[in-house]
C-alpha cells in the first residue's frame, strides 16, 4: 500500500491514481476524470507554499492566465483549484518522454533538432504574445510524444514564486535552473521574454552538441559562467554544425538581452534559413556587444512590477555576420561577391598531433585522473599538517586521508574534499597565529566561491611545492592535463599563501629564495601567538586556546600587529610576492601556446617559454630587497623543470591533444 496520502483519494473532480514524479515544490500525479472518462496529470503544490495568502492569490491569477493559452505545442491546462489547503493544476496527461530523453551524448541530428526546436519556439512565441514568460525553460520541461510532437509544460509555476515571499525560492528572488538561466536572471535583474530566448539558446546548443555550454561543480559557479564566460563554439564540439547555424546559437546566447533575437519566432526563422541556405541574415547596430562581452549589472526589479511582463518590442538588434558568410537582403549600394551554386569548399583543420597509447589509456579511464588528484590532495594536506602540527605524524596521516583519498577519491566529492583539506589547515593556524588564520579563512572563502575542485587541488599542491625547486613543474606541466585558466588561478593563490607562510612560520621552506623572504624576519614574529609545537589532537587541549578565553584583547592586538607587519612587508618589498604569483599564472598560459602544433620541438618551445617567464618573474628579488636566488640557480631550475615537464606531457607520457574536428565539406549558396 502506498504511503502517499493523496493516492486513492479524490482531489476536486479527479481520482488520484499514482505518483509520476516529485520535486521540491510540487508533485505530479496521474489521475482520472470520471466525467470525461479521460486520464489527466495533476500537479500538486507543496503544502509549505499554501500557507501564504499572497502566493495563493498569485497562483490563482497566473493559473487562470496559463489555462487560457491554447497552442498546438503547449501542454493544455484543464483546471486548477484548492482543496483543504492543497493547491493543484490539472493538465493533459501525455504518455511520452521529454526532450531531455531524446538528447544523446553526441546531441541529435541537425535536421531533427531544427524540427523539434521550431515547434518549441512557436509555442514560446505564442506565450510571449500573451504576456507570459516561462523563466524555467529546460529540456525536462518539454514533452515529446511518439510522433515527434513537442509540448511545452510547466508554464508560470516558477514565475508565480516571485514576489512577497522570499523563502519560496530560497535564493532571494532568483528563480530558474542555473544551467539554463540567463545572465540577468543570475544577477537578480529584470526578466522578460528575452531571458527565455537565452534559455532557448542553451537548449539548442545542447540539442546540437549533446552538452550544455557551461558546467561547474556548484550552481553558483554555473551562474557566474553564464554572466562572465564566453560560450564555446558549437562547431568545435560537433563538426556537422555549420557556421551559419552556429551564429544563430551564439546570438541567442548574447550576454546583453538587447543583442539577442527579438522573438522566439525570429530565432526559429533564422535557424531554418541558416540550415537551408548556409547563411545567417544579420543586421548591424552601433555598440553591439558580442557573445564575448560581459553582462553588466542589471537593475533590480521595481516593487510592484507585473509578475509576467509583456515581451519587450521595438529594440534594434545588433548582429555581425560571421566571417565568410554572405548576408542576404543587402541594402542598395552594398556589394557582395557571389559564389556559384554547388561550389564545394574544403574546410581544412589544423593538423593536431596523434595521442599515444599511454595517454589514450589515461583518457579512457577518467577514474585514474580523479584518484591521482585525490592522492595529491592527501599528500599536500599531510605535508601542511606536518609543518603546522609536527608531533604525532601518524595523526596527520590519518586526517589527511579524509579529504583526499576518502572524499575526493572514494566518494567522488571533490569540492567537499578540497574544502575539508583547507579546514584541517585552518584550525592550527587559528590556534597559534590568528592573523594567518583569518587571512587563510578569507582565501578559503574565495576558493569556495570562485574555484572548481581542480583549482582547489592545484591551490593545495602549490602551497607545498612553491617553496621547493620542483614547484615550477605545476605551472609548466599541469595546463597540459587541466585547463590552463584553472591552473593559473590555483597556482597564484598557492604562491601567495606559501610566501606568507614562509615569512611568518619558522621552518616553512622558501626554496632558497624562490619565495621572496627578507633577510631579517624577526619583525614578523608578532604574526604568531604561540609556537606550532603540538600534535593535531593536541589542539583539543584547552591550554592551547587559553589566551582566546582569558585575554581576548591579546588576540585583537596580535591581529592588528600581524596585519600591520604584513602590510609593511608588501610595501617594503614593492609587492614582489604578487609579481611572482603573476609569473606562475602567466607561465600556465604560455606553456601551452604551441599545443596544437604537430612538432615535438614546437610544443617543447612552449614549455621552455613558460620556464623563461618563471625565471624573469624571480629576477625582481634583488630590486625588492629580499633574498634573491642566483642567476645560475634559476637557470638550472628552469632547464630541469622544463625538461621534466616535457617528458611528463609529451614523451613518454603524453597529454591528450585538443578535440580534433574532422575535415568537412560545406556547400556555398548563390548570393541573391
- Give the Cα separation of 640 and 22 in Å (integer): 58
* Nearest partner of 537 among 427, 418, 435, 421, judged by Cα: 427
**What is the DSSP-derived secondary structure letter of residue 632?**
H
By three-state DSSP, how is residue 161 classified?
A: helix
Q: Which residues contact 353 (CB under 8 A, 6 or more apart)?
A: 597, 598, 599, 603, 657
* Nearest partner of 386 among 372, 400, 375, judged by Cα: 400
**Whether 78 contacts 28, CB under 8 Å:** no
Kindly state the cell numbers that stand for 611: 620556464
- Give the Cα separation of 133 and 195 in Å (integer): 8
Active site residue 95: no
Estimate the share of the chain in helix, then strand, then coil, as percent rounded to the nearest 5. 50, 10, 40
- Give the Cα separation of 309 and 194 in Å (integer): 11
The burial class, CB within 10 Å (0-12 / 13-18 / 19+), for 149 is: middle
Helix axes 600-617 and 473-481, enclosed angle (nearest 10):
140
HSE, side-chain direction, 13 A CA sphere, residue 296:
7
- Give the Cα separation of 87 and 294 in Å (integer): 41
Cis peptide before 652, with omega less than 30 degrees from 0?
yes
Give the strands of the sheet with 142-144, arranged side by side: 97-98, 142-144, 150-152
- Give the Cα separation of 443 and 430 in Å (integer): 14
* Nearest partner of 474 among 578, 376, 342, judged by Cα: 376
The burial class, CB within 10 Å (0-12 / 13-18 / 19+), for 334 is: exposed
Q: Which helix (H) or strand (E) holds 207?
A: helix 193-209
By three-state DSSP, how is residue 82 classified?
A: strand
For the chain, the first-to-last Cα distance in angstroms comes to 69
Catalytic residue selected from 125, 136, 192, 217:
136
Active site residues: 136
Amino acid at each position: 500500500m502506498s504511503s502517499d496520502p493523496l493516492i486513492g483519494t479524490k482531489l476536486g473532480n479527479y481520482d488520484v491514481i499514482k505518483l509520476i514524479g516529485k520535486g521540491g515544490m510540487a508533485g505530479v500525479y496521474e489521475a482520472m476524470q470520471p466525467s470525461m472518462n479521460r486520464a489527466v496529470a495533476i500537479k500538486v503544490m507543496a503544502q509549505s507554499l499554501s500557507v501564504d495568502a499572497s502566493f495563493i492569490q498569485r497562483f490563482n491569477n497566473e493559473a487562470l492566465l496559463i489555462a487560457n493559452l491554447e497552442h498546438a505545442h503547449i501542454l493544455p491546462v484543464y483546471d486548477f483549484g484548492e482543496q483543504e489547503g492543497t493547491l493543484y493544476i490539472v493538465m493533459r496527461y501525455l504518455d511520452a518522454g521529454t526532450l531531455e530523453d531524446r538528447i544523446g551524448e553526441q546531441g541529435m541530428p541537425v535536421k531533427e533538432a531544427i524540427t523539434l526546436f521550431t515547434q518549441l519556439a512557436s509555442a514560446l512565441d505564442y506565450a510571449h504574445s500573451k504576456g507570459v514568460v516561462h523563466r524555467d525553460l529546460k529540456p525536462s520541461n518539454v514533452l515529446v510524444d511518439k510522433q515527434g510532437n513537442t509540448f511545452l509544460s510547466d508554464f508560470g509555476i516558477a514565475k508565480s514564486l516571485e514576489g512577497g515571499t522570499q523563502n519560496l525560492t530560497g535564493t532571494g528572488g532568483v528563480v530558474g535552473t542555473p544551467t539554463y538561466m540567463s545572465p540577468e536572471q543570475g544577477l537578480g535583474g529584470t526578466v522578460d521574454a528575452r531571458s527565455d530566448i537565452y534559455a532557448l539558446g542553451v537548449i539548442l546548443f545542447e540539442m546540437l552538441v549533446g552538452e550544455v555550454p557551461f558546467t561547474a561543480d556548484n550552481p553558483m559557479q554555473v551562474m557566474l559562467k553564464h554572466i562572465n564566460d564566453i560560450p564555446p563554439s558549437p562547431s568545435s564540439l560537433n563538426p556537422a554544425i555549420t557556421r551559419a547555424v552556429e551564429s544563430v546559437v551564439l546570438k541567442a546566447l548574447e550576454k546583453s538581452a538587447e543583442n539577442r533575437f527579438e522573438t522566439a519566432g525570429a530565432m526559429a526563422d533564422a535557424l531554418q534559413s541558416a540550415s537551408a541556405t548556409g547563411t545567417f541574415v544579420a543586421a548591424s547596430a552601433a555598440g553591439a556587444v558580442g557573445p564575448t562581452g560581459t553582462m553588466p549589472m542589471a537593475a533590480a526589479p521595481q516593487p510592484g512590477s507585473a509578475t509576467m511582463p509583456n515581451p519587450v518590442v521595438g529594440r534594434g538588434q545588433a548582429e555581425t555576420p560571421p566571417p565568410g558568410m554572405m548576408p542576404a537582403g543587402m541594402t542598395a549600394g552594398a556589394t557582395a561577391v557571389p559564389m556559384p551554386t554547388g561550389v564545394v569548399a574544403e574546410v581544412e583543420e589544423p593538423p593536431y598531433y596523434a595521442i599515444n597509447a599511454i595517454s589514450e589509456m589515461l583518457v579512457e579511464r577518467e577514474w585514474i585522473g580523479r584518484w591521482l588528484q585525490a592522492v595529491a590532495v592527501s599528500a599536500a594536506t599531510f605535508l601542511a599538517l606536518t609543518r603546522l602540527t609536527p608531533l604525532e605524524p601518524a595523526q596527520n596521516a590519518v586526517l589527511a586521508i579524509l579529504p583526499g583519498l576518502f572524499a575526493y577519491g572514494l566518494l567522488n566529492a571533490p569540492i567537499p574534499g578540497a574544502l575539508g583539506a583547507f579546514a584541517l589547515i585552518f584550525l592550527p593556524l587559528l590556534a597559534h597565529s590568528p592573523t594567518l588564520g583569518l587571512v587563510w579563512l578569507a582565501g578559503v572563502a574565495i576558493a569556495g566561491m570562485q574555484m572548481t575542485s581542480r583549482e582547489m587541488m592545484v591551490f593545495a599542491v602549490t602551497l607545498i611545492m612553491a617553496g621547493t625547486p620542483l614547484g615550477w613543474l605545476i605551472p609548466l606541466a599541469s595546463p597540459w592535463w587541466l585547463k590552463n585558466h584553472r591552473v593559473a588561478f590555483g597556482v597564484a593563490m598557492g604562491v601567495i599563501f606559501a610566501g606568507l607562510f614562509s615569512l611568518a612560520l619558522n621552518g616553512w621552506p622558501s626554496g632558497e629564495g624562490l619565495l621572496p623572504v627578507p633577510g631579517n624576519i624577526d619583525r614578523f614574529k608578532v604574526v604568531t601567538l604561540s609556537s606550532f609545537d603540538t600534535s593535531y589532537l593536541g589542539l583539543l587541549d584547552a591550554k592551547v586556546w587559553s589566551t582566546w578565553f582569558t585575554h581576548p584583547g591579546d588576540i585583537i592586538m596580535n591581529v592588528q600587529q600581524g596585519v600591520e607587519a604584513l602590510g609593511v612587508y608588501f610595501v617594503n618589498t614593492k609587492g614582489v610576492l604578487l609579481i611572482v604569483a603573476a609569473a606562475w599564472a602567466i607561465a600556465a598560459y604560455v606553456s601551452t601556446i604551441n599545443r596544437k602544433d604537430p612538432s615535438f620541438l614546437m610544443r617543447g618551445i612552449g614549455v621552455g617559454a613558460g620556464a623563461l617567464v618563471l625565471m624573469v618573474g624571480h629576477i625582481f628579488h634583488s630590486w625588492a630587497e629580499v633574498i634573491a636566488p642566483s642567476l645560475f640557480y634559476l637557470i638550472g631550475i628552469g632547464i630541469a623543470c622544463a625538461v621534466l615537464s616535457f617528458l611528463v606531457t609529451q614523451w613518454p607520457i603524453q597529454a591528450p591533444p585538443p578535440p580534433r574536428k574532422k575535415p568537412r565539406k560545406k556547400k556555398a549558396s548563390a548570393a541573391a
